[in-house]
Amino acid sequence: MNANSVWNGHEYAYVHIVRRKYFPRNAVRVKVSSKREVQAGYKTRKDTYATVTFPDNPERGEREVNVRNLYDFWDSYVDEKRHVEEKRQREEAERNRLWQQQQAERVAAQAERDRQRQAHREKLHRIRDGLARELAIDPESIQVNEQYGHFLIYAKELEFLAK
């Protein structure tokens, strides 16, 4: 936060590491009791430090933190956190819904492929049975390659044609 936006007696959300692009989910509630400016000899700008207490964890006592680590007013932070959490839950629910829908489509597509494969297999077996009737041989002696739709009849099964 800006040092001019921090006032004594107000509660703020404190984070250890500030990342500008990301919403901090692990902020701690602190109450500012005082603030002071410090000019380091090697810096051109002043740093502002706030003395804070931890209302949720009083045994931590008082601590001095950089004002830049105060993210926002606590009430605003809680509202924003709730909003971010609700948005995350909605997105997760949408992802789950899409995943379930895609899973149902995959199951339906697999069932359709299985049905087509079974229909193709039955068609090949009907052809095999008709061929076996025409040649007057046992249908089990004709091997069917279901993947390519080929039939294999060994010559020993057709010996009767050579007589």
- Flag whether 11 is in a domain: yes
What is the pLDDT, as a whole number, of residue 43?
Answer: 83
CA angle 144, 133, 145 (to 5 degrees): 5
Task: Point out which residues pair with 30 in neighbouring strands.
Answer: 12
Residue 13: inside a domain? yes
pLDDT at res. 2? 79
Question: How far, CA to CA in Å, does 32 sit from each of 23, 56, 70?
Answer: 22, 14, 10
Q: Given pLDDT bands bounded at 50, 70 and 90, which one contains residue 83? A: very high
Which 3 state secondary structure label does DSSP give 88? Answer: helix
Q: Is the pLDDT of residue 1 over 80?
A: no
Is 40 among the domain residues?
yes
- And the tokens for 83? 């909003």
In a domain, residue 50? The reply is: yes
Q: At 28, which helix (H) or strand (E)? A: strand 28-39
Note the pLDDT of residue 65. Answer: 94
**What is the model's pLDDT at position 36?**
93
Task: Report d(CA 103, CA 124) in Å as an integer.
Answer: 31
122-134 burial code (b ≥16 CB/10 A, e <16) = eebeeebeeebee
In this structure, are residues 2 and 69 in contact, taking their beta carbons and an 8 Å threshold? no
In a domain, 143, yes or no: no
> By the 8 A CB rule, do 73 and 9 touch?
no
Quickly count: other Cβ atoms within 10 Å of residue 28's Cβ: 18
- pLDDT, tens digit (0-9, with 9 covering 90-100), for 121-158: 999 999 999 999 988 888 888 999 988 889 998 888 88
DSSP 159: G
What distance, in Å, lies between the first and last C-alpha atoms of the chain? 103
The CATH number covering residue 54 comes to: 2.30.30
Domain count, the chain: 1
Asked if the structure places residue 16 within a domain, the reply is: yes
The 10s digit of each residue's pLDDT in 34-80 is 999 998 888 888 899 999 999 998 899 999 999 999 999 999 999 99
Segments forming the whole domain that contains residue 42: 3-74
**Rounded to an integer, what distance in angstroms lies between the CA atom of residue 126 and that of residue 124?**
5
Whether 127 is in a domain gets the answer no
158 belongs to a structural domain: no
Q: What is the pLDDT of residue 163?
A: 73
